[in-house]
Structure 1
């Protein structure tokens, strides 16, 4: 895997270690279930597994393994050698480890969690030192095989949003160690909570994030701003500045990121010229910074929401670096 700079597929592992006898390999029952999908496991793959592998199957999600094996035989034309791993045959204090899967290890790696909870220390260290499964360079085909074009696009945008949030948190960690202003709050409208969610999904977020509000309707914005609500210009620099100021006063945060815009989607009934527009405000100790975005108005609502959030976090990081 390290020499190829990518994770090996299951069958590639098998070819590297196979000999005259079948190789025993521990897998989850869900992996065997995926063998029904020819876009994940080709016929050639399954023939290799049938010939060279003895699968030791750990239970997964109440999957009826015998039924799956029958379907694999009927639909894919292979008879797999499989032994069920029976949890009762394992010491009670070890049974929980049957729940570990390569999928969970990859997700834990990508979330920045401590891998020693999943793996021996040497294996965890190898993954961390070589940045395996960190999501930046390795993409598994089976993760996108059932996605349509929009889902794949949103998946990529979500990755970008996560990266932007990670960079912002790294900056805030630095500011905290320097005893500088780092605590913040978020108020958003059309982004629908994407900004706050991305900021709070990281370990250690509570060190910096104080509060978040999603004022999705005009009624909610009016109630929040009171007399400061801009009746004729709810999508404007004036409105977003007011949102930032009021949220800063309410939360007591060192700085506040505010967003208001129109995410759409466009439709025959809704022909607003403001679709795809976004106003950002960043309330600091003595001023409110402002930025205007105008995106393709024909993007979907989800794309707009994710792009608004990405741009907001990238801009906030840039302003904070300049300010500090």
Structure 2
């Protein structure tokens, strides 16, 4: 079931200076996110991804188009109804946005207090959320006494306190070190898996998309330029922007100066083959090469795990008698096309 739907949404802002054109932050965006899905929106600064997030939680109203949550067009709701809607949407931020004057427990309790919950209910829910994020021992600490990862766990607990159906994460790991990032991403996976909460993630980090999302949306200049299953986009990106993002986490085939460097270091013929989710295994190709007495060395690339599915490019240097190498390439090509890199250089 579609939980979040944007239909031909545009968001414009007045011209920053007299005589200038208005600023179009979101330009004709249509997007559907299913209930229980983790959707990642990725783009460079100014792509419009954070504006989309603010449109979903009704902090911004679109200039045109509609934004629906569970079938209700939120652009038509009165402020009272919008406040009720926002209780169904949790939000976590890059800089945590915690109250320095409140304890960890006090920060988590805040949205429950605003919602008018009883003291008993608040105490029970805060304890439950502290246990869920692994911070029961930190209930009486203040934010300044916490690490960055602990602060973000408090932010997640606070966002979950009102038992929302949707969780919005705006660059939630950008301020964290790599190890802490992985811990927070694992916590978000638990939120989705155990609580069934739909998550919309805004990021400029493809590693976050690979580790967390089911679906990815690539934005540029306020438009969606590519979207689809994470594995499909990462293994075969179509747009230039998606290709740049994918190249930041997945070794591509060597070309240009990189290929020339490899050729200077490795004699023989240099070939690349691609593994894509069970189409072929390394063992098949390596066995075919070995069967013809050819020596080979992996000199570039690697295999990536993308949500339990494998993909990667492997570049090999082959050495041996020319006829044997040619026969080995033909034999291995029955399993996967071996593309000679000289033709790409």
Q: Same fold (TM over 0.5)?
A: no
Q: Which has the higher contact order (CA 8 A, sep 6+)?
A: 2
Structure 1 length-normalised TM: 0.30
Bigger helix fraction: 1
